[in-house]
């Protein structure tokens, strides 16, 4: 075993894996498929090998992503589970240069047949690389192929949160090699926190610092971790609980590894947390209270680029803000009528929604039985949807996904709900994790729309369709498009309404309308914070009064909008784009319109920019007309 004691992950990789562009290929690229869409075999082989190279580069740069994806280690070309992602400024700069070279390579490669799957793969990756470079324009924060952030770390991400989450919930512990790799990663944990601290402080000196409310949340999280007895930290508890079940791990080595992990947690990780918390407190003393990205160097340009990256919409922020307010007004009117039909007529729509959510019959008890009942209710709604949607889809319905509560030790920073697709190796099934830290955030009338968004016909159906129909290469599976993914899941909420899935329960339809209100209000608040210079309190009050969320839930939403500029806008704008494409196809095809074919065109191409989805849909209905 090679003990990992150095600072840099890259220096520990096998020779040849640290170059800007790796020309080694994964096993899947050795036998390229014959391309039935008109691309010459030689060109198809070249493209497939290039896509595999792109994937290999990303795995090398981000071994933690490979673990979360569940990539078979044999396919990665090196023992990535032994390494944490290098978070240093030097690594970030290297990644930028490497991605620039990759983008140039992708642009220069011989083009495949127009409209082919290979063309879609290529164009999606080119767009992802170009977007990452656009959002790097200021040289600060963190920019990747799937998401970008203005700050190195925040209250939802960063080594201090991501690494314990990775080790406790995603790192495999099935073999002796897995246990040794876990210990290797623990040896790198403190340095990862230190890298984030140094980069945060460096960015702050350049005028890029998270708003004080975010820093205070970060400090509280870091201070809690620093004060926790090392033997009770999630990585240590997980390691000690699971290593006894590893076959072929000798007791002497098991005990040595447990002692090593405990010692690292006490001697290195805890002090790193304490230093990080102190640094965050110092930064918070002089950080701005206002949350908007407009305060950053070239912040207005950064936000415009982020909006376009996440939504695929070229509209200016001010125009989107006004558009969102119009959508909110229309939804408030519709929701008001639906509430009045149930006898709820007193107060504003937001006040009536809050009153409804507070009714005793709407709240599940904060007990093991209450949480189980809530999860069972969501799964029952999912089963109803799965039975109702075959008329809209010709995909085989996916296996039922799991649903579980977020572990309490991670509830302080994880989102209300998150869909996690099946691991690439198939060892971990798809699941949704729901954050039940505040049971009052989950009134019964909100559970149906949650099921349809996260599971069927939302994220779970979309992810399963991409896996079964799109045959996405690994490089494509590392790139997720927010407007496509969240736009589809929000469209799924509306599709469920059109299918009558709320009709037997008027309260569940109120939950759907409240969800739509949140999507539209999110567009208003996102642009309000980052372009209209709203205060944090102003944004919280807007969501509380408009959508009827609790002040605590509204604060969580606003702080997420703060650290991910443009992201919240993608839900509404992505949904609207898909609805517009459907309306256009219906107008063109009339009675020949087939919803199954329409949905197949959208989902079979996998996650991609909505401009490409539009090209695919246009090509599809044009062919229908011509034939």
Alpha carbon distance 560, 155 (integer Å): 8
Angle at 268 between CA 263 and CA 271, to 5 degrees: 125
CA distance 287 to 285: 6
Q: pLDDT value at position 11? A: 33
Pairwise CA distance, residues 403 & 420, whole Å: 10
Cβ atoms of 212 and 277 within 8 Å: the answer is: no
Q: What is the DSSP letter of 250?
A: -
Alpha helices in 62-88 (DSSP H): 63-69, 73-76
Q: Which two tokens stand for residue 435?
A: 């954050």
CA nearest neighbour of 10 among 111, 77, 66, 87 = 87
Q: What gap in Å lies between CA 516 and CA 453, rounded to an integer?
A: 11
Q: Cα(423)–Cα(430) distance, rounded to whole angstroms?
A: 7
pLDDT of residue 32: 43
Number of residues written out for the chain: 627
Q: Which value, in Å, is the radius of gyration of the alpha carbons in the chain?
A: 24
Between the alpha carbon of residue 149 and those of residues 72, 161, 305, 335, the distances in Å are: 28, 16, 12, 34
Contacts of 147 (CB under 8 A, 6+ apart): 480, 482, 564, 567
Helix (H, G, I), strand (E, B) or coil at 432: strand
Say if strands 402-405 and 148-149 run parallel, antiparallel, or are unpaired: unpaired
Query: What tokens appear for 577 in the block?
Result: 């784009």
Coil, strand or helix at 433: strand
Q: Would you tell me how many other CB atoms lie within 10 Å of the CB of residue 451?
A: 29
CA-CA distance, 192 to 8, in Å (whole number)?
9
The three-state secondary structure class of 552 is helix
Cis peptide before 335 (omega within 30 of 0): no
Q: State pTM to two decimals.
A: 0.93
User: Which stretches of 270-402 are DSSP H helices?
Assistant: 270-286, 299-311, 317-341, 349-357, 368-388
- Rounded to whole angstroms, the Cα distance separating 222 from 196 reads 12
Q: Would you give the distance in Å from CA 313 to the centre of its chain?
A: 20
DSSP 365: P
* Greatest CA separation for the chain: 73
Q: Which of 493, 489, 482, 492 is nearest to 526 (CA)?
A: 482
Q: What does the pLDDT read at residue 426? A: 86
Per-residue pLDDT, 77: 81
Sign of CA dihedral 373, 376, 377, 378: positive
| Residue 419, phi then psi, degrees to nearest 5 | -95, 130
- The side-by-side arrangement of strands in the sheet containing 431-434 is 402-405, 431-434, 417-420
How far, in Å, CA of 522 to CA of 547, rounded? 10
pLDDT along the chain (627 residues), means of 10: 32 34 37 62 93 92 95 86 96 92 95 92 95 81 88 98 98 97 98 98 96 98 98 98 96 98 98 98 98 96 94 95 98 98 97 98 98 98 96 91 97 97 91 98 98 98 88 90 97 98 97 98 98 98 98 98 97 98 98 97 96 97 92
User: How would you label 285-316 residue by residue, b for 16+ Cβ within 10 Å and e otherwise?
Assistant: eebeebbbbbbbeebeebbbbbbbbbbbbebe
Let me know the angle formed at the C-alpha of 561 by 556 and 566, rounded to the nearest 5 degrees.
160
DSSP run (H or E) holding 403: strand 402-405
Q: If DSSP states are collapsed to H, E and C, what string results for 497-547?
A: HHCCCCCCCHHHHHHHHHHHHHHHHHHHHHHHHHCCCCCHHHHHHHHHHHH
Dist CA 575 CA 377 (whole Å): 26
For residue 434, give the 3-state DSSP assignment. strand
Query: d(Cα 512, Cα 373) in Å, to the nearest integer?
Result: 20
Smallest CA-to-CA distance from 577 within 483, 494, 460, 457 is with 483
Output the six-digit token pair for 130: 């170009």
What H or E segment, with its residue span, contains residue 419?
Answer: strand 417-420
Q: What is the pLDDT of residue 6?
A: 32
**φ and ψ at residue 2, rounded to 5 degrees:** -95, 110
């Amino acid at each position: 075993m090679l003990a990992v004691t150095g600072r840099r992950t890259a220096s520990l990789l096998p020779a040849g894996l640290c170059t800007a562009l790796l020309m080694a290929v994964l096993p899947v690229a050795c036998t390229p498929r014959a391309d039935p869409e008109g691309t010459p075999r030689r060109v198809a082989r070249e493209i497939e090998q290039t896509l595999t190279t792109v994937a290999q580069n990303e795995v090398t740069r981000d071994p933690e992503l490979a673990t979360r994806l569940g990539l078979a280690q044999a396919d990665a070309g090196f023992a990535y589970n032994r390494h944490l992602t290098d978070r240093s400024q030097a690594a970030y700069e290297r990644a930028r240069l490497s991605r620039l070279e990759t983008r140039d390579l992708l642009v220069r490669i011989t083009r495949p047949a127009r409209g082919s799957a290979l063309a879609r793969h290529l164009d999606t990756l080119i767009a992802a690389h170009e977007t990452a470079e656009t959002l790097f324009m200021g040289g600060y924060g963190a920019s990747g192929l799937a998401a970008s952030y203005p700050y190195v770390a925040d209250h939802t991400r960063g080594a201090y949160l991501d690494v314990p989450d990775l080790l406790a919930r995603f790192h495999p512990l099935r073999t002796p090699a897995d246990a040794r790799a876990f210990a290797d990663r623990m040896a790198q944990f403190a340095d990862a926190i230190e890298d984030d601290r140094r980069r945060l402080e460096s960015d702050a000196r350049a005028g890029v610092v998270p708003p004080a409310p975010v820093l205070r949340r970060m400090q509280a999280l870091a201070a809690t971790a620093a004060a926790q007895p090392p033997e009770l930290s999630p990585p240590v508890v997980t390691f000690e609980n699971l290593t006894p079940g590893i076959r072929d791990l000798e007791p002497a080595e098991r005990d040595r590894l447990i002692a090593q992990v405990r010692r690292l947690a006490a001697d290195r990780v805890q002090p790193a947390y304490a230093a990080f918390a102190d640094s965050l407190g110092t930064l918070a003393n002089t950080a701005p209270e206002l949350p908007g990205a407009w305060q950053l160097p070239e912040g207005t340009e950064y936000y415009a680029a982020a909006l376009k990256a996440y939504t695929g919409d070229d509209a200016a922020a001010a125009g989107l803000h006004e558009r969102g307010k119009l959508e909110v007004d229309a939804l408030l009117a519709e929701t008001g009528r639906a509430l009045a039909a149930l006898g709820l007529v007193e107060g504003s729509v937001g006040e009536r929604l809050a009153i409804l959510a507070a009714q005793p019959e709407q709240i599940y008890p904060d007990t093991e039985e209450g949480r189980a009942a809530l999860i069972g209710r969501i799964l029952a709604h999912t089963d109803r949807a799965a039975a109702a949607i075959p008329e809209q889809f010709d995909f085989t319905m996916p296996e039922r996904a799991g649903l579980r509560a977020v572990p309490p030790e991670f509830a302080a920073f994880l989102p209300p709900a998150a869909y996690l697709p099946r691991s690439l190796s198939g060892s971990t099934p798809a699941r949704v994790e729901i954050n039940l830290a505040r049971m009052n955030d989950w009134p019964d009338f909100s559970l149906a729309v949650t099921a349809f968004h996260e599971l069927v016909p939302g994220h779970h159906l979309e992810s399963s369709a991409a896996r079964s129909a799109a045959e996405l290469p690994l490089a494509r599976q590392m790139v997720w498009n927010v407007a496509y993914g969240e736009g589809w899941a929000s469209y799924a909420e509306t599709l469920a309404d059109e299918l009558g899935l709320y009709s037997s329960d008027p309260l569940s339809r109120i939950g759907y309308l409240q969800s739509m209100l949140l999507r539209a209000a999110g567009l208003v608040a996102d642009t309000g914070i980052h372009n209209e210079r709203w205060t944090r309190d102003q944004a919280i009050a807007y969501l509380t009064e408009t959508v009827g969320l609790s002040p605590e839930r509204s604060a969580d939403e606003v702080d997420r909008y703060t650290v991910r500029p443009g992201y919240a806008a993608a839900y509404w704008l992505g949904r609207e784009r898909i609805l517009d494409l459907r309306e256009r196809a219906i107008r063109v095809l009339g009675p020949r319109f087939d919803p199954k074919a329409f949905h197949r065109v959208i989902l079979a191409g996998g996650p991609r920019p909505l401009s490409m989805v539009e090209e695919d849909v246009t090509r599809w209905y044009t062919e229908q007309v011509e034939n």
